[in-house]
Amino acid sequence: MRVLIQRVTGASVAVGGKTIGQTGPGLLILVCAMQGDTAADAEKMARKVAALRIFADDAGRMNLSLRDTGGSALVVSQFTLAADTRRGNRPGFSSATAPELGRELYERFAAALAEQGIATQTGEFGADMAVSLVNDGPVTIWIDSAG
């Protein structure tokens, strides 16, 4: 599973011009299920994200997790994180899992994050979404369960 985390002061996702999910201070999390991923991978990644210490403490050091700050999360499916650009100029996405399993693992990740005590909203799997965000820091971190 690939996850791209952005620390944000705010983020939202809209489908057809209507906002369907948003977060205040917290994380925008882009999620891609890869070939071979399982529900256990989704749950492990959710635990990792909830505990990742990327928020400033009173001394200004990245020492606090999303759970510590009481922040929230916006989880958006993004199969393009599977892009393979090693050949030519057109990315390939064959390493992403099939859409049916991708949806299941995306939803499992979001549910597992909520089970960690994180207020979680989501985008719409497979939809053409418009994502808006204000990156805080900026802090952007890539996590891959395979590596």
pLDDT tens per residue across span 43-84: 999 999 999 999 999 999 999 999 999 999 999 999 999 999
147 pLDDT above the threshold of 80: no
User: Which pLDDT band holds residue 146 (cuts at 50, 70, 90)?
Assistant: confident
Helices (H), the chain: 39-51, 66-69, 99-115
Q: Which of 112, 89, 91 lies closest to 38, judged by CA?
A: 112
The whole-angstrom separation of Cα 146 and Cα 94 is 16
CATH class of 2-132: alpha beta
What pLDDT score was predicted for residue 121? 98
CB < 8 Å & 24+ apart, contacts of 60-64: 62/139
DSSP three-state, residue 39: helix
Using a pLDDT cut of 70, give the percent of the chain over it.
99
**Using CA atoms, how far apart are residues 5 and 31, in angstroms rounded to an integer?**
9
Average pLDDT along the chain? 96
Residues 105, 77: Cα–Cα separation, whole Å: 10
Q: The pTM is what?
A: 0.95
Q: Is 80 a known active-site residue? A: yes
CA distance 4 to 11: 14
Contact criterion met (CB below 8 Å) for 123 and 76: yes
Catalytic residue among 19, 23, 80, 140: 80
Burial class of residue 15, CB neighbours in 10 A (0-12, 13-18, 19+)? middle
Neighbours of 1 (CB within 10 A): 26
For residue 111, pLDDT over 90 is answered with yes
